[in-house]
Structure 1
Amino acid sequence: MARFQTALQALPAEQAASPFVRAQVELVTLKDDKFRGRGGFVTLLEWADVLDRHFPAAGR
C-alpha cells in the first residue's frame, strides 16, 4: 500500500486529480483495509458505490 501511495504522490497534480486515479486509489485502499482488518474481499456493491461516486450517472 505504501508503494502505491508513493507512486500516486509522484504523479503530476492534474493526473492525480483525474476520476480514474481517485477511484483506483479508493478501491485499492478499501481492498487493503479489508485484507488487513477482516480478511474479506471488496464486494460488488462496494465496487459499484466507489464507481458511482467517481463516475455518477448523467443527469444527477
Structure 2
Amino acid sequence: MWHTPDCPQWTIMQIGWEADSRRIKEQDQWAKEVFPAVYERLRQAATEMPPDTPAQPFIDALTELVHAQADTTGFVVLRRWVEILERHFPPHLPDPDRTTT
C-alpha cells in the first residue's frame, strides 16, 4: 500500500511507530536498571533452599540461565540454553539389563 506524504493514515501510523519505539526503549531501560537486584534476590533464594530438595536441578538450571543472561548484552542463544539444560538434566541412558518382553 502506498501513502502520500500528506496522508492522514500514514501520519497516524508514524505516530504509533514512534510511540511504540519510545515505550520499548523505556521498558528496556527499566529492565536494565531492575535486573541486578532481581537477579540477586533469585541467587539469595536459591542458596536458602535445602540442598536435598527435589527441585534442586530446576533451581540450579534457572540460576545458571539467569546468570548467562546477565553476562550478555542481548539474549542467551539457544546453544547456550541447551548446554545449561543438558548439564542439569542429562539424558537417561537405556538400562542394558532391562528388557521389554
TM-score, length basis structure 1: 0.75
- Residue aligning to 1:8: 46
Q: Equivalent pairs: percent with the same residue? A: 38
For residues 25-47 of structure 1, the C-alpha deviation after alignment (integer angstroms, 9 at most, x for no partner) is: 1101101111xxxx121011111
Structure with the greater alpha carbon radius of gyration = 2
1:45 aligns with 2:79: yes
Q: Distance in 2 between matches of 1:24 and 1:12?
A: 16
1:24 aligns with 2:62: yes
The number of equivalent residue pairs is 56
Q: Distance in 1 between matches of 2:78 and 2:60?
A: 18
Asked if structure 2 preserves the Cα contact closer than 8 Å seen for 1:19 and 1:55, the reply is yes
Flag the structure with higher helix content: 1
Question: Which runs of 5 or more structure 1 residues have no equivalent in the other structure?
Answer: none
Q: Flag the structure with more relative contact order, 1 or 2, with Cα contacts below 8 A and sequence separation at least 6.
A: 1
Question: Which runs of 5 or more structure 2 residues have no equivalent in the other structure?
Answer: 1-38, 95-101
